[in-house]
Amino acid sequence: MINDRNSSDTLKQQANVLASCAYEDQTQWGVKVGFRYHSVVEDYFTGFMLHCKGWRSVYLSLRRPQFLGTGVTNLNDLLVQGTRWGSGLVEVGISRFCPLIYGPQQGLPLLQSMAYAELAFFPLLYSLSLWCFATIPQLCLLNGIPLYPEVSSPYFSVFLLTFLSGLFKHLHEVLMDGKTIQTWRNEQRTWMIKSVTAHLYGSLDAIMKKLGLREASFMPTSKIMDGEQLTTYKKGLIDFQASTMLISPFVTLAILNVVSLAGGIIRMTVVGDWRKMLGQVLLSCYILVINYAVIEGMVIRKDKGRIALHVTLLSAVFSVMFLLVGSLILIMF
């Protein structure tokens, strides 16, 4: 307890200044001291700037955890958070602090600059590549256009081994960390969903802000769950109660791959060109196996966390439109 009235008044004044966040005005805080401001990925940006100034990192791994934090536990907040992070990373990549340019100028080693650049541009690169892999082979499959070598070709084994090596490398990392195959499958699905939604929206947001078409904004995510969300989370189920804009892209791609797989199997059975189309059929099969939870949310689940019917119907319309327009383009060219 503070008995001195003057000390009490001084403490109140200092508390008011602290609460106003004005104590850092006219200082170097956020510019040269502490975490760098003007970026929603302040940890990444601060680390990059410190390394550019000659700081060196030391890896510290203690048996006892030194920090305790919470993470998002529902799909909507996960994608909102991923969109924010993706926007921040791409924003750094296309700014004057681009690691490939600013890093070497400040004396940062080329390999380290490339590592920072990979982080800065991976939302953009992942979204483009995943959208291509989830649409182009499937569209060509339905139109009888082979994209991969025939099964009898020695080059087919090159494609297959490259694809499987990436999957098994990730599986090995998960198992070595003491996790299960289900964890690997969940991480694969999360990677796909975030790539075609959060990374895409984040990249577009950063580009639009760079062009002056959108003002900077900050979207916080909630770490609090209600009772039903907690029950769904403990059951290992995905809560699909999210914005239509966030979930319709991957639902559309799931429906597209269902149609593609069905059409591919029919083509292989009737036409008999399984040697040419097997690679594309296996790709659609892999996507659907990993994303079975999405199919389950559309067709099987009846709880509150299922995918809403209007989202499924809207996504089905998008899938049909894509197939029709894409097929017309392939026929024309």
Instruction: State pLDDT tens for residues 168-223.
Output: 999 999 999 999 999 999 999 999 999 999 999 999 999 999 898 776 565 555 55
In the prediction, which pLDDT does 1 show? Answer: 47
Residue 12 inside a domain? The answer is: no
Residue 158 lies in a domain: yes
Residue 275 maps to a domain: yes
**Of the candidates 30, 60, 61, 58, which has an alpha carbon nearest to the alpha carbon of residue 46?**
30
Q: What total of structural domains would you count in the chain?
A: 1
Residue 134: other Cβ atoms inside 10 A: 24
Percent of the chain with pLDDT over 70: 92
Q: Is residue 254 part of a domain?
A: yes
Question: 174 with 108: CB under 8 angstroms?
Answer: no
Q: What is the pLDDT of residues 84-123, one digit of tens each?
A: 999 999 999 999 999 999 999 999 999 999 999 999 999 9
- C-alpha–C-alpha distance, residues 267 and 277, integer Å: 9
**Helix 244-270 / helix 110-142 crossing angle, nearest 10 deg:** 50
Residue 153 lies in a domain: yes
Q: Do the domain assignments include residue 75?
A: no
For residue 151, the cross-strand partners are none
Burial 296-313 (b: 16+ CB within 10 A, else e): ebbeebeeebbbbeebbe
Domain-located, residue 146: yes
Please give the model's pTM, rounded to 2 decimal places.
0.85
Question: Residues 31, 42: contact at Cβ < 8 Å?
Answer: no
Alpha-carbon distance 304 to 34, whole Å? 44
Q: Are 216 and 208 in contact (CB under 8 A)?
A: no
pLDDT of 311-332, one tens digit each? 999 999 999 999 999 999 988 8
Residue 28: inside a domain, yes or no? no
- Take residue 167 and report the two structure tokens written for it: 């999957």
Distance between CA atoms of residues 169 and 164, nearest Å: 8
Domain extent, residue 176, equals 127-198+219-332
Q: Is the pLDDT of residue 236 over 80?
A: no
Q: What is the pLDDT of residues 121-150, one digit of tens each?
A: 999 999 999 999 999 999 999 988 999 999
Q: Which of 38, 37, 82 has the alpha carbon at shortest distance from 202?
A: 82
Supply the pLDDT for residue 312: 95
**Over residues 52-80, mean pLDDT:** 85
